[in-house]
Each structure stands twice: as C-alpha cells, then as structure tokens.
Amino acid sequence: AAMVKETIRVYARVKPLGRRQQAGSYSIDNEEPLPSLEISVPRDLADGFINNKRENYKFKFQKIFDQEAKQDVIFDSIAKPVAECVLAGYNGTIFAYGQTGSGKTFTITGGAERYSDRGIIPRTLSYIFDQLQKDSSKVYTTHVSYLEIYNECGYDLLDPRHEASRMEDLPKVTIMEDSDQNIHLKNLSLQQATNEEEALNLLFLGDTNRMIAETPMNQASSRSHCIFTIHISSKEPGSATIRRSKLHLVDLAGSERVAKTGIGGHLLTEAKYINLSLHYLEQVIIALAEKNRSHIPYRNSMMTSVLRDSLGGNCMTTMISTLAMDKRNIDESISTCRFAQRVALIKNEAVLNEEIDPRLMIAQLKKEIQDLKDELALVTGKQRTSELSQEELLQLDELIETFLKDNDPDSSLDVGADMRKIKYCFVHMKQIINHPRTSGKKLLSQDISEENNSNEELEKLKGLVQQRDNEINILVTMLKKEKKRVRDALSQLNATSAGSTILEQSSPSMSLEESQSPSRCFSLKEEKVFSPSVPRLPCPSRAAGGKMSLGSQEAFEVFKQDHADSITVEDNKQLLKQRFDEAKCLGEKLNEVRNKINQLKGRIIQRQIQRAALAVSNPSEELTFDSVEENLRMQIEEEKKSYKVMQGRFKGLKVEIEHLQLLMEKVKMKLQKDFEVWWSEEAKKIQQEKPEMVTSPNTATVDPQFIRSSQHLSPNSSSDTTRDSLYEDPAVKNNSITFGNPTLKTRTPPSSSTSIPLTGDSQADADILAFIKARQNILQKKG
C-alpha cells in the first residue's frame, strides 16, 4: 500500500489575554527553518537572594499562532491538510492539548457565540462534504461518532437513549479487540450523515448532551476527553477496492497538574485519572518515537486504545498546543510546550487504507479469464470448446501414427498451439507404449511449421488462466470467511447496540442534477425552508413537564436579562433575522431567474415550431443557422450561470442560518440550566433564612438527577421544535420550565432539608421572587 512518512506536526496557539490578566513575557519567531516560541520567566528565588535574571525557554513548532489568529486561518493551516489526507484515504487525528481554559474547545469545536468563531469540526465537515460533492467519480459514505471518555469510562454522546436515561446509566462504550488486533468500540453508535447539515446537527446534539451532563460537581468538560470522528468510505463504481479512512478530532482533558490545582477528595481522584490518561498518551507517543520499539503500550488507557490506529503508524497526526500566556499560567504553558516537543519526535508512516471486496474481485477475475480466452482464440484462430471433436481426435491419431512410423530422426509431431491436443497426444502415446497391440493404425509423417512463438505465448496464457483459477478459489474461501465474520458481527451488533448502523451501507447518491438544473422551486416560508433531515434539538423544557409557576417564570425573565448570554442571543437573533431576509430575497431572485429560463426555453420551442412550419410550406428553402435561436440559447446559459452563483450563495446562507439556530438553541439551553442551578441555590438560601417555608405542604424533593435525565437528547427523538419557536424563548413560550420529568409527581413527597418550593404554590414562588428582588436591590445599592 502507498505510504507517507511524516513526523507528527505540532502547532501552538496562544489564547488572547483576558481583560484583567497580566501578560507573561514571550516572543514568537515564525521564520524558517523551524518557528520557535521563546518564553522567559523570572529566575527562581529559592536561594534566598533576589536577582533580576530571567530564565529563557525555547520551543520549536511547525507554526505558532499568536493571540489574534482567527479560526479560518487555524482551519486552513492546520486542519485542511489533514482533511485532504483523510479524503485521500489515510487516517487522521488532530488533538488539542493544554490546560483548562487555554482554548482547546474553542479551537476544536468553536465558540458558542459567533458564526465566525466556529471551530475545526464544523469547518472540516463543511470542507469534506464540499469535496465529496465535487467528486462524482466515487461513491462515498460518511458516518460520525462522538465519544466522551470520563474517568476511563466511555460514553456515546450520540446515544439515542440519552433522552431517557442519565449518562451514567447508559451502556458504557467498551473496547473489543478482534483476532487481527483491530479495535472495535462496543456501544458507540456510528450515525450516518449524508450532508453537512446532518453532521452539524449531530455535533450540536453531542455537545448539548455533554453540556447537560455537566454539573458543578462534575466539570466534565475539563476532565474528560472528547473524540469526534468522521468516518469516510469510498469506492469507484465497479472497482473492487474500498477505501476507508477516519478523522479523529480530539478535545483532550485539561493538562493541568494536580499539585497546582490542590483539590481533594473526589475531584482529586478525577484529576489523577486525567493526568494518568494523558501520561499514558505521552508514553505511547514516546514509544512510537523510539526506533525498533516493538511494544507500544496502547492498552494502558481507553484513550490510547481508541486512538491506536490513529496515533502511530497508519496516520497523519497533528497536535495543537493551546497556551494561555498570562503570568499565572506560564508554568502550565511551559509544561504544555515540553509535552509538544516530545510529541514532535514521532515519525509516522501513514498507510493508505485499502481493502478488497472479494465479490468484485471474483467478477473481475472472471472477466479477465474470458478476455484471456478470447485472446487465446485470436492467437490460435479457433474457438475453444472444452472437448475436442471426434473429427479432431481422428486427425490427431493419424498425426501420431505418421510421427511414430517416420524413421527420419528429424521428424517431429506438431499439433499446433492447443494444449488439449498436446495433452491428448501424450496420453495416446502412453497408451501405445503400454498397450502396443491396440494401436495398429498407420502413422503418417508431417512437416514442422513455425509455430513456436505462438506456442510460448499460449503457454503463458495457459499459466495465467491457471493462476487466476487458483486466485478465484482462494477468494471464494475468503468470501465465505468474510460472510461468516459479517454474520458474527451482525449478531453481536444486534445484541449490543440498537442505534448503530453498518458502515458498509451505501449512501444515497448525491445527485448532481439538483445543483445543475434549475427545476426546483424555492418557496420561502421561514418555518419550512430548512426542514431538518436530522431531528432538531428539542426544547429543553418538555411540554410534558410541570408548568412553571408565575413566580419562577418571572424570575427566569429577570435572570435572563441579567445573564450575559442573553446579549449574544439578542445579537444572534438580529443576525438570524437578517440572514433569513437575505435568504428570502435570494430565494425570490432564484425563482425569477428560473421563470426567465423557462420563458426563454418556451421561446426557443416556439421559434423551432415556426421554422419547421416554414420549412414544410417552403421546402425549397434550406434550413439555415438560426441566429435568433442561438441568441436565446446564449441568454439561457447566462441566466443559468447567475442561477448557479446565486444558488451557491443560497446554500452558504442556509448553512449559516442552521449554525446560528443551533448556537442559539445551545445558548438557551445553557441559560436555562444555569437558571435552574441558581434558582435552587436561591431556594436553599431562603430555607436557611426563612425556615418556616420548609414545612410548606407544597414542596417536593428535587433530585438533581432528574433535572439531568429529563434533558438528555437523542438523535432519534421526535422533535417538536418548530422553526418559528426560535424567535421566542422556548421556555417562556411553552410556559414550562420544569424541575424534573413527570415521574417527579409520583415520587415520595416532602423530605426534610433539601426540599425547595416547586411549581403550583404561587405564594411560595412569589415569596422567593420578592426575596430575590430585595436581594438584587441590596446588591445594586452595594455595588
């Protein structure tokens, strides 16, 4: 297989300084041959006397991106080359490494606010689907998966059962190794995504599930690894070769050291785990860098097992070290850079992932045999049937007889370039030697003709046929084995994961016609234009849930206004509105152009009819070139061109609108989640200050688990979100911020200290609201 030798490419990206952060001292030199980042820190004061010396560290990178580098530049320079390799059939991995808050998620997934802040994953999806669409020479199938690894346990962020159960209760993703040491991930679903929109929806779905699973106690985003994988398989029509490749986009857990964070108890265990898995990642990487190292310790952690075929060997691997260069984080940044230097030592050999489809191979070999037979017939001038005819046999007998009787030592037996005849002669001679009496026929002499050349060729061809026969036998055996494997895998799959699809399903072919012929009509009703092909994120608050009391509803309004995110929501709403208007306008123009094209076509037909009629009534007149028609055709071409341009823009707008909508939904979900946390905290405070409320009969225990379980989302959930609800706050519209799912009602009511006022008791909620407002007044006066 084709091979590409590469070291792991290591880049650095410096995050912009925060408003109150003090800049650390560093400099970047992006000149050839290898760019370097120099960090300078004050000398240790350990010896007890002060000096002004500084210590300098210099690190080499493929390229260093300073604070102002934008997401599109990052994509173009770092991710695009990897995406291109993946499109060509190699595996690829991009991982972001750095301490919490240094910009890993921002780089890999993107910021939650602006469209221009979208990160490597959405940009890569867009790029890949664009390229696939352009290439009609192959049939492509794409799937995505989204895995979170937390404390060495794997969770499927796209598991459809997210809706019904808590993350912890879902079946864990586990690693299985087959006899060929290939890694299979049990319980990780591969969701087919036929276009950018579907893939983006899946990404947002996974992100939202991840966000919801996160509680203050479980800051999963800094303590877990997330791996978004794009699987591509491709095949040329009729070819036996299937290319499979995958691209892992990895958001690693924070790399900060335990000692510094100084946390105890539960969190310490987690931190230790994170460090362990990053430590194992480093061990694998170091082992890969060593020459002649046969054992690579992949199995030490889930992370390294999953990336097994995508770190060393068969892969294009890229790492982005994310750095926060303010004074307080310089230490961590240096240790991130050190890690990066070790990673940069690895030499990878990326291998093209090709495998052969035995069925197609057999078909090809059969065809080759037929071709060879035809060639043979051409050389010998005879069509071959399997048996020699009676007549031919008699002729041969005569030839043999002649040959045997000929006393001339130079005489030879020549039957031409036909193996069957040659074989027959030998058999016949053997018979004559063994049973001399049975062959009493006369033998005739014969001339030698010059057919040696074609004889040789015939032998070659015969040999080839034999070889192909053998190959077919081998392939048939392979096919049987393969069938059995597929059967086994299927039964395993059925037993384990309901949501996954088999990778080999052929994708619905992407029709090119749609973009070429202006036959589609654009009707632009806002709710309907962009009907999603993957179910949308449902509203966080379920209609089935309890109603939000007036008190908490009002509180939510207040909370929303105070919340920084709501500004973004407003901005995005504006932008969305603009984009909708643009899309609408463009849609109308598209319709106009379409009509125009149809009109022009009508005129051409009319013209042709007229000229045909003229030709009939005036047969003598010759049909000449019609410049009018030609002119009309040119006009149509022009219109088509502008149609195509507009359609391209329309598509771009559509993607942007989709993205904005998803961003807004996500921000809203976050807002509501924050509100719930804040609301229950407020409630607790009130209980402490107004203990008599605890005894209120209208309180119910809210188990935080219920809050979470009711909100997990699934790709298959039937979403009741409609487009038009996007302009309103879903929570307010449905009037139902819920504190849990409906099962809450059946739970045993009031227990003691953790109870908070719930829906229904407007008096209690009004009390809280009054309290909140009072608090806010006080706070405002203080500030």
Site string for ligand ADP, 521-560 (x = CB under 6 A): ----------------------------------------
Residues 733, 736, 741: CA angle, nearest 5 degrees:
145
101 binds, among ligand ADP, Mg ion, none (CB under 5 to 8 A by kind): ligand ADP
- Rg, Å, the chain Cα set: 37
Stretch that binds ligand ADP, among 77-85, 97-105, 429-437, 600-608 (CB under 6 A): 97-105
In angstroms, give the least distance from the CB of 102 to ligand ADP.
5
Rounded Cα distance, 172 and 156, in Å: 8
Looking at the Cβ atoms of 112 and 316, the one nearer to ligand ADP is 112
Stretch that binds Mg ion, among 103-111, 112-120, 181-189, 623-631 (CB under 5 A): 103-111
Work out the number of other CB atoms within 10 angstroms of the CB of residue 248.
25
Amino acid in the structure at residue 506: S
Please identify the residue of the shown chain whose CB is closest to the bound ligand ADP.
103
Site string for Mg ion, 356-395 (x = CB under 5 A): ----------------------------------------
269 is in an annotated binding site: no
Amino acid in the structure at residue 713: L
102 is an interface residue for Mg ion by CB under 5 A: no
- Nearest CA to 666 out of 113, 255, 234, 228 is that of 113
Q: Which of residues 172-231 bind ligand ADP (CB under 6 A)?
A: 222
Stretch that binds ligand ADP, among 101-109, 183-191, 677-685, 768-776 (CB under 6 A): 101-109
105 is an interface residue for ligand ADP by CB under 6 A: yes
Residues forming a β-bridge with 177: 183
755 is an interface residue for ligand ADP by CB under 6 A: no
Which two tokens mark 437? 């009496």
In angstroms, give the least distance from the CB of 100 to Mg ion.
7
Could you check whether the bond before residue 749 is cis, i.e. omega within 30 degrees of 0?
Answer: no
Which DSSP category does 695 fall into? Answer: G
Alpha-helical segments (H) within 181-264: 196-213, 220-223, 258-261
Site string for ligand ADP, 2-21 (x = CB under 6 A): -------------xx-----
224 is an interface residue for Mg ion by CB under 5 A: no
119 is in an annotated binding site: no
Number of residues binding to Mg ion, judged by CB under 5 A: 3
3-state secondary structure of 118: strand
587 is an interface residue for ligand ADP by CB under 6 A: no
Work out the number of other CB atoms within 10 angstroms of the CB of residue 661.
21
Work out the number of other CB atoms within 10 angstroms of the CB of residue 364.
17
Looking at the Cβ atoms of 74 and 86, the one nearer to ligand ADP is 74
User: Among residues 62, 91, 93, 100, which is the contact residue for ligand ADP, using CB under 6 A?
Assistant: 100
Which DSSP category does 173 fall into? Answer: B
Rounded Cα distance, 774 and 780, in Å: 10
- Nearest CA to 721 out of 730, 712, 713 is that of 730
Q: Which of residues 281-340 bind ligand ADP (CB under 6 A)?
A: 322
Residues 673, 679, 681: CA angle, nearest 5 degrees:
110
In angstroms, give the least distance from the CB of 303 to ligand ADP.
16
3-state secondary structure of 668: helix
715 binds, among Mg ion, ligand ADP, none (CB under 5 to 8 A by kind): none
User: Among residues 104, 123, 579, 712, which is the contact residue for ligand ADP, using CB under 6 A?
Assistant: 104
Rounded Cα distance, 317 and 312, in Å: 8
462 is in an annotated binding site: no
> Which secondary structure element, helix H or strand E, spans residue 647, and what is its range?
helix 627-689
User: Among residues 26, 61, 75, 106, which is the contact residue for ligand ADP, using CB under 6 A?
Assistant: 106
In angstroms, give the least distance from the CB of 104 to Mg ion.
5
In angstroms, give the least distance from the CB of 752 to Mg ion.
38
User: Among residues 24, 89, 92, 98, which is the contact residue for ligand ADP, using CB under 6 A?
Assistant: 98
Cα 217 from chain centroid (whole Å)? 31
255 is an interface residue for Mg ion by CB under 5 A: no
- Nearest CA to 147 out of 493, 500, 492 is that of 500
Rounded Cα distance, 109 and 102, in Å: 14
Are 228 and 203 in contact by the 8 Å Cβ rule? The answer is yes
89 is in an annotated binding site: no
Are 702 and 756 in contact by the 8 Å Cβ rule? The answer is yes
Looking at the Cβ atoms of 14 and 593, the one nearer to ligand ADP is 14
Looking at the Cβ atoms of 323 and 593, the one nearer to ligand ADP is 323
229 is an interface residue for Mg ion by CB under 5 A: no
Stretch that binds Mg ion, among 201-209, 217-225, 226-234, 286-294 (CB under 5 A): 217-225
Which two tokens mark 420? 């069957």
497 is in an annotated binding site: no
User: Among residues 221, 353, 541, 553, which is the contact residue for Mg ion, using CB under 5 A?
Assistant: 221
In angstroms, give the least distance from the CB of 104 to ligand ADP.
3
In angstroms, give the least distance from the CB of 116 to ligand ADP.
11
Stretch that binds ligand ADP, among 100-108, 178-186, 656-664, 710-718 (CB under 6 A): 100-108
Which DSSP category does 14 fall into? Answer: E
Looking at the Cβ atoms of 112 and 534, the one nearer to ligand ADP is 112
User: Among residues 105, 549, 687, 714, which is the contact residue for Mg ion, using CB under 5 A?
Assistant: 105
238 is in an annotated binding site: no
In angstroms, give the least distance from the CB of 270 to Mg ion.
15
In angstroms, give the least distance from the CB of 74 to ligand ADP.
8
Rounded Cα distance, 227 and 282, in Å: 17
User: Among residues 62, 93, 102, 687, which is the contact residue for ligand ADP, using CB under 6 A?
Assistant: 102
Are 172 and 152 in contact by the 8 Å Cβ rule? The answer is no
> Which secondary structure element, helix H or strand E, spans residue 147, and what is its range?
strand 139-150
In angstroms, give the least distance from the CB of 156 to ligand ADP.
21
DSSP characters for 414-434? ---S-HHHHHHHHHHHHHHHH
98 is in an annotated binding site: yes
In angstroms, give the least distance from the CB of 556 to ligand ADP.
24
Work out the number of other CB atoms within 10 angstroms of the CB of residue 290.
10
In angstroms, give the least distance from the CB of 251 to ligand ADP.
7
Strands 756-757 and 699-700: antiparallel
> Which secondary structure element, helix H or strand E, spans residue 5, and what is its range?
strand 3-7
Are 727 and 176 in contact by the 8 Å Cβ rule? The answer is no
> Which secondary structure element, helix H or strand E, spans residue 548, and what is its range?
none
171 binds, among ligand ADP, Mg ion, none (CB under 5 to 8 A by kind): none
Site string for ligand ADP, 236-255 (x = CB under 6 A): ------------------x-
Query: Who's near 461: CB < 8 A, 6+ residues apart?
Result: 372, 375, 376, 379
Rounded Cα distance, 443 and 465, in Å: 34
208 is an interface residue for Mg ion by CB under 5 A: no
Looking at the Cβ atoms of 224 and 304, the one nearer to ligand ADP is 224
104 is in an annotated binding site: yes
111 is an interface residue for ligand ADP by CB under 6 A: yes
- Sign for the CA dihedral angle at 449, 453, 455, 458 comes to negative
What's phi and psi for 410, nearest 5 deg? -85, -5
Alpha-helical segments (H) within 152-245: 196-213, 220-223
541 binds, among Mg ion, ligand ADP, none (CB under 5 to 8 A by kind): none
Are 378 and 457 in contact by the 8 Å Cβ rule? The answer is no
In angstroms, give the least distance from the CB of 252 to Mg ion.
9
Residue ranges at the known binding site for ATP: 98-105
Q: Which residues bind ligand ADP (CB under 6 A)?
A: 15-16, 98, 100-106, 111, 222, 254, 322
Where does this chain bind Mg ion (CB under 5 A)?
A: 104-105, 221
Annotated binding site: 98-105
